[in-house]
Structure 1
Amino acid sequence: MAERDFMVPGKSVALAENAMAATSHPLATLAALDILRAGGNAVDGAIAAVAVQCVIDPHMTGIGGDCFALYAPANGKMTAYNGSGRSPAGIDAEALRAKGWSAIENMSPEAVTIPGAVDAWCALNAAHGRLGLDQILAPAIRSAEEGFLITPRVAHDWARYADRIGWHEPARAQFLPNGRAPRTGERIANPALARTLRAIAAKGRSAFYEGEAAEDMAATLRALGGVHTTDDFAAHKGLVADPISAGYRGVTLNECPPNGQGLAALIIARLLEGFDLGGNGLSEADRIHLLAEATKAAYRQRDALISDPETMTASVADILSDAHIDRLRAGISLDKAAAPADFDIPVHRDTVYLCVVDRDGNAISLINSVFFAFGSGIYAPGAGVLLQNRGAGFTLAKGHPNVLAPNKRPFHTIIPAVVSRDGQPLMTLGVMGGQYQATGHAHMMSQIFDRGHDIQSASDQPRSFFTNGALDLETTISNAVRADLEARGHTTRIADEPIGSCQAILIDREKGVLWGASDHRKDGIALGY
């Protein structure tokens, strides 16, 4: 492990002996630590943290969104939780095609699927939690009732994407007080959301999927032309499944199975494992190029094959088989970029990922999102819920596995990961950033297990991402590297904002230490005790 250069701006890796949380917002990390020190376990801490972020990071996440999680007990079976919601029973893809739609309009009621996050939290708490929801949700309720301070990155994103909530009057009234986005250091509250969270704390999932909250969400959507009913909300139920996995350099990368894009992360990792990315045999341009080419190959597979697990026709085992991976890898040249590709899924960057490890060594990797910034922009004022637009992840192409249909889960970009070794959790890992997430997982794996970086240093490394027909480069990538990439046939451009954001915790059993990382690209912090 290379020693950090303390003359260069950056973060030191966090260290702890007992328990740790890593989130993209200081208040969320603090909420998790308070719960852990009060006797809660990793699941309790994670739910507390994500609930806080659903209040204080409304452009990134909310209880009107979806959630995926991997729970990895210190000694036991890892479990994947799919907290993604379905389309309403009354949705009609043919009617949308008849209106001239070729894709789901992302700020329309048709883009709103039933939020699955609250059900996932309740299921995780019931199966693995130690404390009650009343104690776990108390920090989030307090933030919603009393208000919270706007941090710098939150203010930046809120202002940048304010137009996504300006069109819907209830959303505008709540999230653009005084006719503008709140600024760094200003305070904002959401009393309606506090009431809903307090009801969930007292009654569990029924307080969200039945009764006043469900009625308000359904009525808000119907007023805008949606077909959602209270029956759609009442019928929601998440999935519990086994993770899918692939080996990389002697460890195992575990992901949630489809309808998420974790499968794409595994394809990229398997493709990259066929190249020697350690040492000095390859240049920085070589490694960026190979990551881009592996991304193209994997995302083409992703867009063609991944859908609701109930409608997916391709086998995960076949996709990850040696024969299939070898065929894909054979199409990658070190000297020449493959033809550009436009991926099917809309470009977005808005998610929160967090992870927690408790003093018993239990670990959880959890991600929660409303998809685009501020989701659909549709706000149910009585419930205090900003609704996601995950339905924009469907296609309208007839015959496609991911085509819009009633009561169906769309393709999802949000993916938590756990790296294991010899059957035990070694590292929780997540990289926020929409489509980038699968590429980000592979990039972090290579930086740690090929390049020898600690997890914070790995997160700090310059990022690149092939998307939307070109290779985006962060400003920390040199002009010489950019020229090298263009000589291979890449169209490059400088990214207009940081690419992704990472949190990770590594469990060092030999030393009895937890190592934590939180990306400098956000306001967050990794902290333990």
Structure 2
Amino acid sequence: MQQPMIGTKTMVVSPHYLASAAGARMLERGGNAFDAAVAVSACLAVVYPHMTGLGGDSFWLMYSQHDRAVRAYNASGRSGYRATRSFYAGEAAIPQRGVRSVVTVPGMVDGWDAVLREYGTLPLAEVLAPAIGYAEHGFPLSRDQHRNTAERLAVLAALPETAAVYLPGGAVPAQGARFVQRDLARTLRTLAGGGRDSFYKGEIGGRIASFLAGEGGLLTPDDWADHAGNWEVPLHGTYRGLDLYQVPPNSQGFTGIMTPQILENFNFGAQGGGIAHGSFDYYHLQVEALKLAFQDRNRVLTDPAFASIPVQELISKAYCDSLAARIDPKRASALSSAPVGSDTAYAAVVDAAGNSVSFIQSLYFEFGSGVTAGDTGVLLQNRGSFFSLDPGHVNTLEPRKRTFHTLMPAMAMKAGEPYLLYGTQGGEGQPQTQSALLTRIVDYRMDPQQAVSEPRWVWGRTWGAATQELKIESRVPEAVRVALADAGHDVRTVGAYDGVVGHAHAIVIDERGFRSGGTDPRCDGQAIGW
């Protein structure tokens, strides 16, 4: 079993080792956790381009020792002024790829600006320097990018601007090949010099909007100029005496409070006759609790500016207890899920002062819309394709609206101080894996590396699938998998360390002040601390 990285002062975890190193460089230069987190975020936008980029969104949870409080920042984009259901008249759904899937303004660059303005100590140009260097001079193409490129070859080949970047020479680049993005490097340099406004009100946004206009897209210069993210009060729940924090809607973060509060009604932990880790009961209860949380999520989640979302009722202990009482300990329920995208990048940073940042970012599907905006090098997200075209649906498409969002970074506090920063890639999988990490670390006393490395699962329906599969890794004993199937779960065994269950990472700050970091063996990540 891989051992956790343990630092006495700092810790950085991310799904790519170069991004983790970029954050560590900022800390070594005297920057704080917020500087380091933005450096990690920007570097991931370069070295993990199939998962995230300047054309996507992000959500942030932050604890500042100055504020002594957890704050959230919603850096997700809204649909354009011209984004109406009539634009898609005659279509059953918004296309999942191509220019017509580009419905929302990317919010991530705004998030970088907000975090650095509020808490940063280093200039933007210095924080972006590692990302610029890797974009201009290249980096070894990761195994995960190689696999995703091969799997999405048709998507990448559909537009010449995208093919020129991701299929150099017309072919899938080999794992370990030098991958260069010079157009993106120029864009990042412009951003480093001109700041946020160069992206939303200046040269970069203007060039992207001009490209989209020429391709029949929705977004206009006014959509870019009028974008703004929001500081939010995070949602709060509890688990076994820990204070849990999640970002509020339009994020599905409240499911990351509901699910563990449902599970708190069961005796996890091998001591005293408790539920053994890895047993039928462990997996069955985790899945059934998640299903119940998802029923409410699917019913209410959208932009809270457009609908009343009873989130405080949903995360109340009394309501979660009532849901727990509905679980049949021996049989799977017939509850269903909605298919959502799965490709995301989660990371976290803790500095010597105890400042802590838990954040997550995404293009929605792998390589997002598949649309690279002209010569900017910016690959645009397709997050808005999740809007419904049904006028009666809570998440129906309307102008200037944020869509139902899967991104949900998490943080748990103990006695008023950060204790656990955790999160994962994978749309439906995010609250499932978060609950796995929480129970493994709290109830089974695992270190964060063991918690992310143990066998995992993901329940739900993915795009194009007709069934509500419970995908579970082959390392789970066959007897347990058979018992789950006999109980009514639609079990499908996947690889021993399968990417379908997501890429999870976690940092634990223990009572001695040590920072223990764990990164997922299913990705290209690294924990760095000292």
Task: Please give the TM-score of this superposition, normalised by the length of structure 2.
Answer: 0.95
Match of 1:320 in 2: 315
Match of 1:111 in 2: 101
Secondary structure of the residue aligned to 1:415 is coil
Question: Whole-Å Cα distance in 2 between the matches of residues 436 and 359 of structure 1?
Answer: 31
Amino acid at match of 1:40: G
The answer to whether residue 477 in structure 2 is matched with residue 485 in structure 1 is no
Call closer, same or farther: CA 1:162–1:74 in 2, change over 3 Å. farther
The answer to whether residue 153 in structure 2 is matched with residue 151 in structure 1 is no
Amino acid at match of 1:77: A
Matches within 5 A, 1:119-518: 119-279=110-270, 280-283=273-276, 284-341=279-336, 343-346=337-340, 348-468=341-461, 469-495=468-494, 497-498=498-499, 499-508=501-510, 510-518=511-519
Match of 2:465 in 1: none
Q: CA deviation at 1:162?
A: 2.6
Q: CA deviation at 1:281?
A: 3.4
Amino acid at match of 1:484: A
Call closer, same or farther: CA 1:286–1:359 in 2, change over 3 Å. same
Question: Whole-Å Cα distance in 1 between the matches of residues 439 and 513 of structure 2?
Answer: 24
Question: Whole-Å Cα distance in 2 between the matches of residues 44 and 301 of structure 1?
Answer: 36
How many matched pairs?
A: 515
Match of 2:464 in 1: none
- Residues 212 and 383, structure 1, Cα contact 8 Å, conserved in 2: no
Q: Deviations over 1:395-424 (max 9, x none)?
A: 222222211110000111111111111221
Q: CA deviation at 1:340?
A: 4.3
- Residues 161 and 375, structure 2, Cα contact 8 Å, conserved in 1: no
- Work out which of the residue numbers 6, 12, 17 in structure 1 matches 2:8: 17
Matches within 5 A, 1:24-173: 24-74=15-65, 76-96=68-88, 98-101=89-92, 103-112=93-102, 113-173=104-164
Q: CA deviation at 1:109?
A: 2.7
Secondary structure of the residue aligned to 2:299 is helix
Secondary structure of the residue aligned to 2:364 is coil
Question: Whole-Å Cα distance in 2 between the matches of residues 207 and 162 of structure 1?
Answer: 32
Call closer, same or farther: CA 1:266–1:406 in 2, change over 3 Å. same
Question: Whole-Å Cα distance in 2 between the matches of residues 100 and 128 of structure 1?
Answer: 45
Question: Whole-Å Cα distance in 2 between the matches of residues 387 and 380 of structure 1?
Answer: 7
Question: Whole-Å Cα distance in 1 between the matches of residues 173 and 28 of structure 2?
Answer: 33
Question: Whole-Å Cα distance in 2 between the matches of residues 317 and 340 of structure 1?
Answer: 23
Secondary structure of the residue aligned to 2:306 is coil
Q: Deviations over 1:174-223 (max 9, x none)?
A: 11012122111101211111111111111211111122211221122223
Question: Whole-Å Cα distance in 1 between the matches of residues 427 and 472 of structure 2?
Answer: 16
| CA RMSD after TM alignment | 1.4
- Residues 192 and 382, structure 1, Cα contact 8 Å, conserved in 2: yes
Amino acid at match of 2:12: A
Q: Deviations over 1:224-273 (max 9, x none)?
A: 32221111001000010111021001101110001111111111111101
- Residues 313 and 401, structure 1, Cα contact 8 Å, conserved in 2: no
- Residues 86 and 236, structure 1, Cα contact 8 Å, conserved in 2: yes
Amino acid at match of 2:504: C
- Residues 192 and 381, structure 1, Cα contact 8 Å, conserved in 2: no
Question: Whole-Å Cα distance in 1 between the matches of residues 141 and 458 of structure 2?
Answer: 29
Q: CA deviation at 1:512?
A: 2.9
Amino acid at match of 1:337: A
Question: Whole-Å Cα distance in 1 between the matches of residues 5 and 154 of structure 2?
Answer: 37
Question: Whole-Å Cα distance in 2 between the matches of residues 243 and 199 of structure 1?
Answer: 33
Call closer, same or farther: CA 1:163–1:495 in 2, change over 3 Å. farther
Moved more, 177-186 or 123-132: 177-186
Q: CA deviation at 1:490?
A: 1.1
Secondary structure of the residue aligned to 1:477 is coil
The answer to whether residue 515 in structure 2 is matched with residue 522 in structure 1 is no
Q: CA deviation at 1:57?
A: 0.9
Secondary structure of the residue aligned to 1:494 is strand
- Residues 344 and 426, structure 2, Cα contact 8 Å, conserved in 1: yes
- Residues 81 and 240, structure 1, Cα contact 8 Å, conserved in 2: yes
- Residues 339 and 460, structure 2, Cα contact 8 Å, conserved in 1: no
Q: Deviations over 1:358-403 (max 9, x none)?
A: 1111000111111100000000132110000010221222222211
Question: Whole-Å Cα distance in 1 between the matches of residues 493 and 387 of structure 2?
Answer: 29
Question: Whole-Å Cα distance in 1 between the matches of residues 357 and 328 of structure 2?
Answer: 38
Q: CA deviation at 1:275?
A: 0.7
Match of 1:3 in 2: none
Question: Whole-Å Cα distance in 2 between the matches of residues 153 and 322 of structure 1?
Answer: 40
- Residues 76 and 402, structure 2, Cα contact 8 Å, conserved in 1: yes
Q: CA deviation at 1:161?
A: 2.3
- Residues 285 and 484, structure 1, Cα contact 8 Å, conserved in 2: yes
Question: Whole-Å Cα distance in 2 between the matches of residues 258 and 110 of structure 1?
Answer: 25
Question: Whole-Å Cα distance in 2 between the matches of residues 81 and 162 of structure 1?
Answer: 34
Structure 1: gaps of 5 or more residues: 1-9
Q: Deviations over 1:419-456 (max 9, x none)?
A: 11122111211111122101111111111111111111
Question: Whole-Å Cα distance in 2 between the matches of residues 255 and 519 of structure 1?
Answer: 21
Question: Whole-Å Cα distance in 2 between the matches of residues 205 and 345 of structure 1?
Answer: 33
Q: CA deviation at 1:326?
A: 2.9
- Residues 133 and 185, structure 2, Cα contact 8 Å, conserved in 1: yes
Task: Please give the TM-score of this superposition, normalised by the length of structure 1.
Answer: 0.95
